[in-house]
């Protein structure tokens, strides 16, 4: 296997098998072999801070659920839990920061930047 080019699916499979064998892992333990990725930090503006049903602040779990319902986020994987911050003390809006796993060329991030979607 050469490491000076992008690994093929067959090479990723060999890497996965080698890792399981070398580490002495059982077949029940899942191992994933992936190509390198970078993280992209994005800011989502104009999201209501208060949940319309419970009148409590929105939670990261609600943010993840709302993102998964949007077609923009179909191929996007979050790299961490979303961070929610109220815009100001008197405002009812929030800013949400998310980290996503992006491709080396940035193609996943380009599908999100300057696009809008409905939240909630």
Which pLDDT band, with edges at 50, 70 and 90, does 115 fall under? confident
CA separation for the pair 92, 96 (Å, rounded): 13
What fold is seen in the domain 38-110? Alpha-Beta Plaits (3.30.70)
Q: Would you kindly state where each structural domain of the chain is located, as residue ranges? A: 1-35, 38-110
How do residues 19-75 score in pLDDT, each as one tens digit?
888 888 777 788 777 777 788 999 999 999 998 888 899 999 999 999 988 888 888
Cβ atoms within 10 Å of 98's Cβ, excluding its own: 22
At residue 92, the pLDDT reads 92
Residue 120 CA: distances (Å) to CA of 9, 13, 32, 114:
38, 40, 33, 19
Backbone angles phi, psi at 99, to 5 degrees: -110, 130
Which pLDDT band, with edges at 50, 70 and 90, does 120 fall under? low
Which of 75, 60, 62, 58 lies closest to 112 in space, CA to CA?
A: 75
Which pLDDT band, with edges at 50, 70 and 90, does 117 fall under? confident
pTM confidence score: 0.69
Cβ atoms within 10 Å of 27's Cβ, excluding its own: 6
């Amino acid at each position: 296997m050469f490491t000076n080019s992008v690994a093929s699916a067959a090479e990723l499979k060999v890497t996965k098998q080698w890792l399981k064998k070398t580490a002495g892992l059982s077949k029940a333990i899942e191992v994933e072999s992936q190509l390198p990725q970078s993280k992209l930090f994005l800011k989502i503006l104009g999201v209501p801070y208060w949940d319309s049903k419970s009148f409590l602040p929105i939670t990261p779990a609600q943010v993840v659920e709302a993102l998964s319902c949007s077609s923009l986020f179909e191929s996007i994987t979050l790299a961490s839990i979303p961070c929610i911050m109220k815009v100001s003390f008197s405002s009812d809006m929030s800013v949400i920061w998310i980290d996503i796993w992006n491709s080396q060329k940035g193609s996943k991030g380009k599908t999100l930047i300057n696009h809008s979607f409905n939240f909630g």
